[in-house]
Amino acid sequence: MDIIVKKEDILKNKIIEISKKPKVLLVFNGKNYFAFNGICPHAKWPLDMGILDATTLTCVGHGYEFNITDGGCLNNPGRDLKMYDIQNYNDKIIIKIK
């Protein structure tokens, strides 16, 4: 499944939900786009409620921290977020959801 998002709809440093099932979130940091699983792999809290500080996303349920550039869990390595491939075009991006 492909999800197409217009670049004009993407705000910098905001967490955007681009798919509900599976829950997929998108972040644009001003330079790159990152798409990742939107449910915390620790205790299933929605990560769009999370706190984004640069490239670190902190789950508000129990404080799990993730690097959104590669999905790596910072305080419990292995409990990582699944990342989705992104194709970047002039006016849109396409997120490949397998």
Tell me the C-alpha distance between 27 and 68, whole Å.
8
Asked if 54 is part of the footprint of other proteins (rule: CB under 8 A), the reply reads no
DSSP 15-64: EEEEETTTTEEEEE-SS-EEEEE-B-TTT--BGGGSEEETTEEE-TTT--
Asked if 21 is part of the footprint of other proteins (rule: CB under 8 A), the reply reads no
Stretch that binds other proteins, among 13-21, 26-34, 70-78, 86-94 (CB under 8 A): 70-78
The residue within the footprint of other proteins, chosen from 75, 85, 88, 96 (CB under 8 A), is 75
Residues of this chain that interact with other proteins (CB under 8 A) are: 41-46, 49, 51, 58, 60-63, 75-80, 82
